[in-house]
């Protein structure tokens, strides 16, 4: 049976323009001109014999026919992408692309990856670090790991690691200026991170000293820099447990106070909807949960 299919490029133009509500944005996404998108959509409308968009200046809106057509086209593209990914993986040897926040990658995931490699020796892991928001336009990964659990359209997410914050510093710093209660932090430099802007405010409130004024503060754009500064003796930061359990066990960091341990946003794995039933992706997510349970 011969399939009656419209031009693929026209379908791609339609799906991108419909999803973004703009021919211009669709042109940017597909790396073509605005005119090319307009012509391809017009070609598709003529092929179908029905209008898919209502043009309103620079914005476009789907007609009722376009709204009915879009979900099926998106599902078809997802299925094609998934089938292609599986075929390429079988042909090249399986790769697993992991996109993870920098701090978790350096202090929790990397020290444990050997155990996954020993369990799946034929898998090539490709690790990238990023704090970028997740959406369909930058989903160049099989599994992402992010703090918090949000609703990401087109993805499935599941929390696997709870995080708790507690002041930590180098042993040498603590030896120079002991800390026995929260009020003693007033004699120290508190290290802040732009990626965790209210961490100290939250912890000091929980410790019952919301108005505490430290001797000094230092600010860093990423948390892993604040953590390294604490290891180097520059001040005190809020260390996430169990992410830094190796640093505590090795003595690079110490926790001078036993509490309070403030529970904050934990970590979840995030998988594109098209890969949810992939065996290797599922295996890695299960492994993450097993490692978190050990923590």
Instruction: Let me know whether 111 and 191 are in one domain.
Output: no
Q: Are residues 45 and 61 in the same domain?
A: yes
Query: What is the 8-class DSSP label of residue 207?
Result: T
The residues pairing with 196 across neighbouring beta strands, listed in sequence order, are 193
Q: For residues 79 and 37, state if they share a domain.
A: yes
pLDDT at position 20: 87
Boundary (domain end) residue, out of 40, 58, 90 = 90
User: What is the rounded CA–CA span in Å between residue 52 and residue 70?
Assistant: 9
**CA 186 – CA 120 distance, rounded (Å):** 49
Task: Rounding to the nearest 10 degrees, give the CA dihedral for residues 205, 211, 212, 213.
Answer: 140
Residues 224 and 148 in one domain: no
Flag whether 185 is in a domain.
Answer: yes
| Diameter over CA atoms, the chain | 82
Contacts of residue 55, Cβ cutoff 8 Å, sequence gap at least 6 = none
List phi, psi (to 5°) of 54: -105, 120
What CA–CA distance (Å, rounded) separates 284 from 12? Answer: 32
Q: Do 156 and 281 reside in the same domain of the chain? A: yes
Give the whole-angstrom CA distance, residue 121 versus residue 124. Answer: 8
Domain holding 33: CATH number? 1.10.10.10
Name 171's bridge partners.
none
Q: Is the same domain home to 258 and 177? A: yes
Residue 193 inside a domain? The answer is yes
Alpha carbon distances (Å) from 115 to 88, 112, 121, 260, 284: 26, 6, 10, 32, 11
Instruction: Tell me the torsion sign for CA atoms 224, 228, 233, 234.
Output: negative
Specify whether 17 is located in the same domain as 82. yes
Residue 2 belongs to a domain: no
Q: What is the pLDDT of residues 29-71, one digit of tens each?
A: 888 998 898 899 999 999 999 999 988 777 788 999 989 999 9
Q: What is the pLDDT of residues 227-250, one digit of tens each?
A: 999 999 999 999 999 999 989 999
Owning domain of residue 255: 163-264
Tally of domains in the chain: 3
Phi-psi region of 154 (alpha: psi -120 to 50; beta: other; left: phi over 0): left
pLDDT at 260: 94
- Is the separation of the CB atoms in 230 and 199 below 8 Å? no
0.75 exceeded by the pTM?
no
Give the model's pLDDT for residue 91: 43
How high is the mean pLDDT in each 10-residue block of the chain (295 residues)? 81 90 88 90 91 83 91 88 68 79 93 92 91 75 88 89 95 93 96 92 96 95 93 95 91 94 92 90 95 88
193: how many CB neighbours lie within 10 A of its CB? 22
CA distance 112 to 99: 16
Output the CA angle 170-176-178, nearest 5 degrees. 80
Distance CA(137)–CA(29), nearest Å, equals: 8
Q: What is the pLDDT of residue 90?
A: 55
Quick one: pLDDT at residue 84?
74
Query: Can you give the pLDDT at residue 88?
Result: 58
Q: Is residue 243 part of a domain?
A: yes
Asked whether residue 33 falls in the same domain as residue 75, the answer is yes
Q: What is the 3-state secondary structure (H, E, C) of 246-276?
A: HHHHHCCCECCCCCCCEEEEEEEEEEEHHHC
236: in domain: yes
């Amino acid at each position: 049976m011969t399939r009656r299919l419209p031009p693929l490029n026209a379908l791609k133009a339609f799906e991108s323009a419909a999803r973004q509500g703009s021919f211009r944005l669709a042109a940017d996404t597909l790396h073509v001109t605005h005119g090319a998108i307009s012509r391809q959509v017009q070609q598709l409308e003529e092929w179908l014999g029905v209008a898919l968009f209502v043009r309103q200046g620079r914005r476009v809106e789907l007609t009722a026919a376009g709204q009915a057509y879009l979900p099926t086209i998106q599902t078809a593209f997802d299925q094609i992408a998934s089938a292609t990914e599986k075929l390429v993986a079988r042909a090249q040897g399986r790769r697993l692309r992991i996109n993870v926040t920098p701090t978790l990658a350096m202090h929790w995931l990397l020290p444990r990856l050997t155990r996954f490699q020993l369990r799946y020796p034929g898998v090539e892991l490709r690790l990238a670090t990023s704090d970028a928001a997740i959406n369909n336009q930058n989903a160049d990964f099989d599994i992402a790991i992010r703090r918090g659990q949000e609703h990401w359209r087109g993805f499935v997410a599941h929390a696997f690691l709870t995080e708790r914050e507690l002041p930590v510093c180098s042993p040498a710093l603590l030896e120079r200026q002991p800390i026995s209660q929260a009020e003693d932090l007033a004699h120290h430099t508190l290290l802040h991170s732009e990626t965790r802007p209210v961490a100290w405010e939250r912890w000091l409130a929980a410790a019952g000293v919301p108005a505490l004024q430290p001797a000094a503060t230092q600010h860093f754009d990423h948390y892993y820099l604040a953590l390294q500064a604490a290891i180097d003796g520059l001040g005190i930061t809020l260390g996430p447990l169990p992410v830094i359990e190796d640093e505590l066990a090795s003595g690079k960091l110490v926790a001078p106070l036993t509490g309070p341990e403030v529970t904050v946003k934990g970590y979840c794995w995030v998988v594109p909807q098209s890969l949810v039933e992939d065996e290797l992706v599922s295996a890695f997510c299960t492994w993450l949960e097993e490692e978190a349970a050990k923590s």
